[in-house]
Chain A
Amino acid sequence: MSTVSESKALHALHRSHEAPISLWRDAGRRFRRHRLAMVGVAILGVMVVAVLAGPFFYRVPINEIDFKDKLKGPSRAHPLGTDDLGQDLLARMLYGGRISMAVGVTSMLIAISIGTLIGATAGYVGGPTDHTLMRVTDLFLSLPGLPLLLLIVYLFRDSLKTWVGPEMGVFLLVVAVIGGLRWMPVARLVRAQFLSLREKEFVEAARGLGAPPLRQVVRHILPNAMGPVLVAGTIDVAAAIIAESSLSFLGLGFPPDIPTWGRILFDAKDNLDFAPHWALFPGAAIFLTVLSINYIGDGLRDALDPRKVLQK
């Protein structure tokens, strides 16, 4: 194998040993220099502030029914227009956005944490552990979604409601269900990366130098395996926001009168040719959330890439 890469790897190893704090500081600086990542932070920040603080400033009620004003496009009274019951879309988007964004991000974090943990363990340890974990993954992949969800509603809804209260109970249930059923692709992807990376020169080098397994994984393999995880993460945010809306059709999600973005999008679909604004805004909100999270992810990866240090 090439001596160049070994020496690079050694160098990197060496460096990280001696200056872990400056590594993080470096990463922070590189992240701030990443233009798109900063754009992502800005967009996401504005949206988070909007859904958190918005309802305190924009005090139009979300469920005020006014049939005279139904299906109206954006106007001064209703900046984003109204739906078919004449309810104000901006108020609904702000209120529902809180839930949609929280569900999207939390479920994504659950999915990629479980997925990465299982995939990394299986890929690094190998042998019977790998077999067992991957067969569990197969099992989860083959579960039929809809009947399983109905079963979960049936078994847990009422007990969770009494245990942590209706709002929080539903939230926990929703993120657990979405996250718990979406980690398998991440696990398979991470494992595949690990199988390949495990045998690469720079890991062998680290192993040869006596780095303990956990360190090998966290410092050397994982950063190089993060690519698919970040992609899966951004896709999962979108998928979770949409999946939440389909859950409420099973009686599992939030009650139907809570206007999450996916829900508004679904309600709007049959009126698409008559009232396009109704679908446009929630669609755009999901798109912007996912896009900004993706740019932040890209920025993080570039900032944390250990080899970038050498190339600069």
Chain B
Amino acid sequence: MDERDIRGLLNDVTSGRLSRRAFVQTMVAVGLTAPMAAQMLASAGVAHAQPKAPAFTPTRRGGGGPLRVLWWQAPTLLNPHFATGTKDQDGSRIFYEPLAAFDPDGNVIPILAERTPSLENGDLARDGLSVTWRLKKGVTWHDGKPFTADDVVFNWEYAADPATATVSVGSYRDLDRVEKVDSHTVKVVFKKPTPFWYDAFCGNRGQLIPKHVFEPYKGAKSREAPANVKPVGTGGYRFVDFKPGDTLRAEINPNYHVPNRPFFDAVEMKGGGDAASAARAVLQTGEYDYAWNMQVEDEILRRLEQAGKGRVEIWSTGACEHIQVNFTDPWKEVDGERSSAKTTHPTLSDPAVRQALNLLVDRASVQEQIYGRQGQTTANYLNAPSRFRSPNTKWEFNVDKANQTLDQAGWKRGADGIRAKDGKRLKFVYQTSINAPRQKTQAIVKQACAKAGIDIEIKSVVASVYFSSDPANPDTYSHFYTDLQMYTNGPGAPDAQLYMEQFTTWQVASKDNKWASRNITRYRNEECDRLWKSATTEMDPVKRAAMFIRINDILIQNVVVIPVLWRSGVGAATAKLRGMDLTGWDSTLWHLPYWHKA
């Protein structure tokens, strides 16, 4: 199915010949599956599906007792613009809300906005140069002040100011301006056509902070704001007490803007410890109601579930565990840096070697034996939102074929069983962060490679060093001073633009940019560059999706990355907990006011 076919189907839907549902089902069938098909429909002028009506409709606010949740990495600060990780975003989300959130299918769901901007309601400009947000009326901050357009404009000024040094700056600095149209309408104006308009004010980086509280602390004084740890938001729960890294407590907001919500009278978020014991506290003893990010082997989770007190929640995300192949020589120093873009890798530059490696990653075993329900095998680097998933790729695990490939390319086994050609041996250092499932994956890959005459040396780096931005440390993932490396990343938002920029020439990580740029494999391809550039301004979602799919296919065909697993989100919930609607595109707590116990 190519672009033209999809377009035909879209026409059928708009003209009423094909039902919305049938369209989505067709997409599922061709592997270009469901969820974000909704986005295509939306831009083709078909209305968004109404989010499914919640099964439980409470008749009054509160009465649900306390909700106890475990975040084994506890939040350390509660200003969403400074959130250094999901833990802080989640902690903030108890109190703060964005204009719109992303549901499990990546749909844009209005929260503080009256409605989702779209072409047919005229809030989204056809030229892609602006979007108008209509704010929900009658919303108040926890201190009683009304929520207005001024607050929205302030969040843009606050986040975009380089002196404030916010983490969310990437979503705000490229906006041309944010205009207040009236007290409850704002218009976001872009500098160029922006297909990814649902970034600013949406999802995690869109959580809105009150102007009247933060105004005095804009810019360099941002750190001193007392509200950084004592939030005043619009959410269903308001602040009681916070001990960074340990406990966060909140109580019901009696003036919440959704009637008869929330259900629980209080929320307690406890931090610390490890994932396995957090799973036990929910699944085995029932001391807690929900535990976040269950990085525990599925086998263990299954056994814990047998206690019958809770269940494991699995949901789709965009994250991909993948092996990166170094295209430069990590063992030769040029101008004070290794893995310099001026070099090429002595052995991995041979496509046959890369193809062989691709055949030697036993994705099925990794999935079945290590990650279980927590991931799916995949041939793609870009797996979600599903409109961006390529149907053109496949993977296989085949040691014999790998051996043939290497034989044909002239790599001969030496006395020690290791293949070599022209004195260059197939010996690779394969690094990743220290994390039990990753070390097991390394062991599986190493074993298969040994059978094909490739010697793998396993290296593991403690995560806080591996993922640090310290330009002086050679062990970071961005230095990539080894032949192969493995970690997970994914498009945090339901769009692939920033994610796919990782394979453009101008992003090659090097000493000059202190290894801060994001092309880690140092792979350079003119077609990728060109495709990516056009995708940034292409307003036709079908064409745009096709461009990202093409970049993905180039990466896979050339074995720039070897996708291992498309990972899912995993949590543990007590048996009676309902209404979480967990999503891979937004905070775990995006729907907190709707959480309830059956």
Q: Per the CB under 8 Å rule, do A and B touch in the complex?
A: yes
Chain A residues within 8 Å of B, Cβ to Cβ: 63, 65, 67, 70-71, 84-85, 150, 154, 249-251, 255-257, 267, 270-271, 273-274
In the complex, the chain A residue whose C-beta lies closest to that of B450 is: A63
What residues of B have a CB within 8 angstroms of the CB of A150 in the complex?
462, 465
What residues of A have a CB within 8 angstroms of the CB of B459 in the complex?
251, 255
In the complex, the chain A residue whose C-beta lies closest to that of B296 is: A270
Q: Is B554 an interface residue (CB 8 A)?
A: no
Size range of the interface on B?
20 to 34
In the complex, the chain B residue whose C-beta lies closest to that of A266 is: B436
Q: Is B129 an interface residue (CB 8 A)?
A: no
Stretch binding the partner chain, chosen from B415-423, B437-445, B509-517: B437-445
What residues of B have a CB within 8 angstroms of the CB of A251 in the complex?
434, 459-462, 465, 475
Chain B residues within 8 Å of A, Cβ to Cβ: 276, 296-297, 299-300, 303, 365, 368-369, 434, 436, 439-440, 442-444, 446-447, 457-462, 465, 473, 475
Give Cα A255–Cα B446 distance, bound, in whole angstroms: 13
Docked-complex contact B460 and A85, CB < 8 angstroms: no
Docked-complex contact A256 and B460, CB < 8 angstroms: yes
What residues of B have a CB within 8 angstroms of the CB of A84 in the complex?
297, 299
Give Cα A256–Cα B439 distance, bound, in whole angstroms: 7
In the complex, the chain B residue whose C-beta lies closest to that of A64 is: B447
A-B contact list, 11 entries, CB within 8 Å: A65-B447, A67-B369, A84-B297, A85-B440, A85-B443, A150-B462, A150-B465, A250-B434, A251-B459, A255-B460, A270-B300
Docked-complex contact A65 and B443, CB < 8 angstroms: yes
In the complex, the chain A residue whose C-beta lies closest to that of B447 is: A65
Task: List 4 other contacts, CB 8 Å, given A63-B443, A267-B436, A273-B303.
Answer: A249-B462, A251-B459, A257-B446, A270-B300
What residues of B have a CB within 8 angstroms of the CB of A67 in the complex?
365, 368-369
Docked-complex contact A256 and B297, CB < 8 angstroms: no
In the complex, the chain B residue whose C-beta lies closest to that of A250 is: B462
What residues of A have a CB within 8 angstroms of the CB of B436 in the complex?
267
Docked-complex contact A270 and B439, CB < 8 angstroms: no
Give Cα A202–Cα B284 distance, bound, in whole angstroms: 63
Docked-complex contact B442 and A257, CB < 8 angstroms: yes
Docked-complex contact A63 and B447, CB < 8 angstroms: yes
What residues of B have a CB within 8 angstroms of the CB of A63 in the complex?
443, 447
Give Cα A1–Cα B390 distance, bound, in whole angstroms: 94
How far is the CB of B308 from the nearest CB of chain A, in Å?
A: 15
What residues of A have a CB within 8 angstroms of the CB of B447 in the complex?
63, 65
- Identify the interface centre among A63, A65, A267: most chain B CB within 10 Å of its CB: A65
Docked-complex contact A271 and B300, CB < 8 angstroms: yes
What residues of A have a CB within 8 angstroms of the CB of B444 in the complex?
65
Task: Identify A154's interface contact among B276, B457, B475, CB under 8 A.
Answer: B475
Q: A251-B460, A270-B276 are in contact. Are A154 and B443 (CB under 8 A)?
A: no
How far is the CB of B468 from the nearest CB of chain A, in Å?
A: 11
How far is the CB of A273 from the nearest CB of chain B, in Å?
A: 8
In the complex, the chain A residue whose C-beta lies closest to that of B365 is: A67
Give Cα A121–Cα B475 distance, bound, in whole angstroms: 42
Give Cα A45–Cα B146 distance, bound, in whole angstroms: 79
What residues of B have a CB within 8 angstroms of the CB of A70 in the complex?
369
What residues of A have a CB within 8 angstroms of the CB of B369 in the complex?
67, 70, 85
What residues of A have a CB within 8 angstroms of the CB of B461 in the complex?
251
Give Cα A85–Cα B440 distance, bound, in whole angstroms: 8
- Identify the interface centre among A70, A71, A84: most chain B CB within 10 Å of its CB: A84
What residues of B have a CB within 8 angstroms of the CB of A257 in the complex?
439, 442-443, 446, 458
What residues of B have a CB within 8 angstroms of the CB of A85 in the complex?
369, 440, 443
Give Cα A84–Cα B475 distance, bound, in whole angstroms: 29
Give Cα A74–Cα B184 distance, bound, in whole angstroms: 70
What residues of A have a CB within 8 angstroms of the CB of B365 in the complex?
67
8 tightest Cβ-Cβ pairs between the two chains A and B: A256-B439, A270-B276, A67-B369, A251-B461, A250-B462, A251-B462, A256-B460, A255-B458
In the complex, the chain B residue whose C-beta lies closest to that of A71 is: B299
In the complex, the chain B residue whose C-beta lies closest to that of A273 is: B303
How far is the CB of B447 from the nearest CB of chain A, in Å?
A: 6
In the complex, the chain A residue whose C-beta lies closest to that of B274 is: A270
What residues of B have a CB within 8 angstroms of the CB of A271 in the complex?
300
Give Cα A176–Cα B442 distance, bound, in whole angstroms: 28
In the complex, the chain A residue whose C-beta lies closest to that of B434 is: A249
Give Cα A267–Cα B440 distance, bound, in whole angstroms: 11
What residues of A have a CB within 8 angstroms of the CB of B443 in the complex?
63, 65, 85, 257
Give Cα A180–Cα B235 distance, bound, in whole angstroms: 53
Give Cα A84–Cα B369 distance, bound, in whole angstroms: 9
